[in-house]
């Protein structure tokens, strides 16, 4: 039988981890429930979540976060309209726009018609889904409000997609500008410079240093590009492997937070994800300790994630969340204040969701301000660089013409 690694919470609130053999993830979750445990993660030992996520991201056509948002929205509408879940999945399957999405829904439909809950089907098949999707669905099933839960989950996922889309849109113009500059430099190196050098050779004068350096660089790239490509790939994989190490990841996260502009964007983005994810989980009945663990797994910054993991341990010991996050010195004070007020007023989920909205607005404004400054600065820098190369080439052409016109 396949071996599954699990993390689950006992009735006392303590976290238990271990492995067990089961025919499927659904059977593993059922076996844990019979022991009185609440599982929030059951994965095959030979396919850990990080590796599955990495492989999924490298394969084209797999369901994206936007696809999951669409699936949850359509299922939510159909279930709230009174359609049985298996019939709703059948309808959504026919409306799938891509084969990979259709295959995913078919697998969910097959598992659900076999007697499993939708949350168990998501845990078993949706390998590209965020870790909090299945627990949220499970909470909705337990409360008997699957339709509204799916609709709320769809809105939450769609908000995440829109934030990512806005950031990518803001970065599009600078990236296009940089790519155009690189293309211009390559054209100068590969075509213009080789055409000009014979003019200097025939005139018996030394070419300008700029032309000589560009010609030497083009010859080096043309002859050694396999080694250069291998070196770039090696450095990339080496850095990637290094960043998987916890200490290196935390060091990079700390460096990002200290950067002048990028740090404020990263901090606001992490607070937005924290507020929206944790608030949504709490609103739909997930206990605070597992909700903190799942939220930590969704945070891109490892210092923020470590702060939430430590906070989960403190909450399990009976302490309040606000002071625990305040001690971490990573979460901004305004966010800690929101959380503290929410705990005191017994409206932590509402305050977290409001915090997520505020932080998301701050992150968007920070991105817009950064792009407002970056775009002209990048334009001027690239213009000076490319213009300097062109001016050097033109001066070289004029000097050759002057030599040719001398009596």
What is the rounded distance in angstroms from the CA atom of residue 30 to the CA atom of residue 41? 12
Q: What is the pLDDT of residue 340?
A: 92
Domain boundary residue among 11, 30, 47? 47
Average pLDDT rounded to a whole number, residues 211-218 = 78
Domain co-membership, 405 together with 275: yes
The band of 236, judged by pLDDT with boundaries at 50, 70 and 90, is confident
CATH number of 248's domain = 1.20.81.30
pLDDT tens profile 286-331: 888 888 888 887 788 888 888 888 888 888 888 899 999 888 888 8
Q: Is residue 234 part of a domain?
A: yes
Range name among 148-162, 333-347, 353-367, 382-396 with the lowest pLDDT average:
382-396
Q: Is residue 114 part of a domain?
A: no
Residue 69 inside a domain? The answer is: no
For 50, 205, 209, the CA distances from 301, given in Å and listed in that order, are: 15, 57, 45
One domain for residues 265 and 393: yes
Residue 189 has pLDDT above 70, yes or no: yes
pTM above 0.75, yes or no: no
Structural contact between residues 261 and 370, judged by C-beta atoms closer than 8 angstroms: yes
For the range 20-27, what are the long-range contacts, defined as Cβ-Cβ under 8 Å and sequence gap of 24 or more? 24/124, 25/120, 25/123, 25/124, 26/111, 26/116, 26/120, 26/121, 26/123, 26/124
Asked, for residue 57, whether it belongs to a domain, the answer is no
Task: Tell me what pLDDT residue 171 has.
Answer: 72
Q: Does the residue 133 lie in any domain?
A: no
73, part of any domain = no
Q: Which tens digits make up the pLDDT trace of 133-157? A: 887 888 788 778 888 888 888 888 8
In the listed set 11, 26, 47, which residue is the last one of a domain according to the structure? 47
Shared-domain flag, residues 20 and 169: no
Instruction: Give 26-62 as a DSSP string.
Output: HHHHHHHHHTT-EEEEEEETTS-HHHHHHHHHHSTT-
Determine the average pLDDT of the residues in 220-238. 83
Q: How many domains does the chain have?
A: 2
pLDDT surpasses 50 at 278: yes
Identify the CA nearest to 25 among candidates 164, 120, 146, 160: 120
Same domain, residue pair 167 and 43: no
Report residue 57's pLDDT band, with 50, 70 and 90 as the boundaries. Answer: very low
At 153 the pLDDT is 84
Cβ 117 vs Cβ 138: under 8 Å: yes
Domain that holds residue 23: 1-47
Residue 112: C-alpha distances to residues 18, 106, 118 (Å)? 27, 10, 6
Average pLDDT rounded to a whole number, residues 264-277: 87
Task: Let me know if residue 31 belongs to a domain.
Answer: yes
Q: Which of 47, 64, 81 is the last residue of a domain?
A: 47
What lies within 8 Å, CB to CB, of 11 at 6+ separation is 36
Least confident window among 3-12, 65-74, 99-108, 315-324: 3-12
| Residues 167 and 29 reside in one and the same domain | no
Same domain, 353 and 224: yes
Question: Is 126 domain-assigned?
Answer: no
Residue 81 is encoded by which pair of tokens? 């309209």
| pLDDT higher than 80, residue 398 | no
Average pLDDT over residues 122-129: 75
Do residue 40 and residue 167 come from a single domain? no
Q: 183 and 42 in one domain?
A: no
Separation between Cα atoms, residue 19 and residue 182, nearest integer Å: 52
pLDDT score recorded for residue 59: 44
With bands split at pLDDT 50, 70 and 90, how would you rate the model's confidence at 360?
confident
Per-residue pLDDT at 89: 87
Mean pLDDT, all residues of the chain: 78
- The rounded distance, in Å, linking the Cα atoms of 121 and 76 is 16
- Check whether residue 34 and residue 183 sit in a common domain: no
Cα–Cα distance measured from residue 403 to residue 407, given in angstroms and rounded to the nearest whole number: 9
């Amino acid at each position: 039988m396949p071996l599954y690694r699990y993390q689950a919470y006992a009735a006392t609130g303590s976290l238990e981890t271990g492995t067990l053999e089961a025919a499927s993830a659904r059977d593993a979750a059922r076996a844990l429930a019979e022991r009185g445990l609440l599982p929030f993660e059951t994965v095959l030992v030979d396919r850990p979540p990080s590796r599955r996520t990495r492989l999924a991201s490298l394969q084209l056509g797999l369901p994206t976060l936007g696809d999951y948002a669409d699936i949850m929205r359509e299922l939510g509408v159909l279930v709230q309209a009174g359609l049985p879940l298996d019939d709703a999945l059948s309808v959504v399957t026919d409306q799938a726009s891509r084969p990979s999405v259709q295959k995913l829904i078919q697998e969910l439909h097959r598992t659900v018609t076999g007697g499993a809950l939708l949350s168990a089907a998501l845990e078993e098949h949706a390998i590209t889904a965020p870790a909090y999707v299945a627990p949220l669905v499970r909470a909705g099933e337990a409360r008997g409000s699957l339709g509204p839960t799916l609709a709320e989950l769809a809105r939450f996922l769609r908000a995440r997609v829109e934030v990512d889309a806005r950031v990518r849109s803001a970065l599009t113009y600078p990236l296009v500008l940089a790519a155009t500059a690189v293309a211009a430099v390559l054209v100068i190196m590969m075509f213009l410079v080789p055409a000009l050098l014979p003019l200097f050779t025939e005139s018996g004068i030394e070419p300008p240093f700029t032309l000589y350096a560009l010609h030497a660089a083009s010859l080096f790239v043309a002859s050694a590009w396999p080694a250069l490509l291998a070196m770039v790939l090696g450095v990339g994989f080496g850095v990637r492997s290094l960043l998987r190490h916890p200490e290196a990841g935390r060091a990079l996260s700390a460096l990002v937070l200290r950067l002048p502009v990028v740090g404020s964007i990263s901090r606001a983005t992490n607070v937005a994800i924290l507020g929206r994810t944790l608030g949504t989980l709490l609103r739909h009945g997930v206990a605070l300790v597992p909700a903190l663990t799942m939220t930590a797994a969704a945070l891109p910054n490892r210092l923020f994630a470590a702060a939430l993991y430590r906070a989960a341990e403190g909450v399990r010991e009976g302490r309040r969340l606000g002071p625990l996050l305040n001690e971490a010195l990573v979460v901004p004070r305004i966010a800690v204040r929101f959380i503290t007020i929410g705990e005191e007023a017994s409206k932590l989920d509402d305050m977290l969701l409001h915090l997520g909205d505020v932080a998301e607005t701050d992150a968007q404004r920070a991105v817009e301000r950064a792009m407002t400054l970056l775009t002209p600065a990048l334009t001027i820098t690239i213009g000076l660089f490319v213009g300097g190369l062109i001016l050097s080439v033109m001066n070289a052409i004029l000097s050759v013409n002057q030599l040719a016109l001398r009596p």
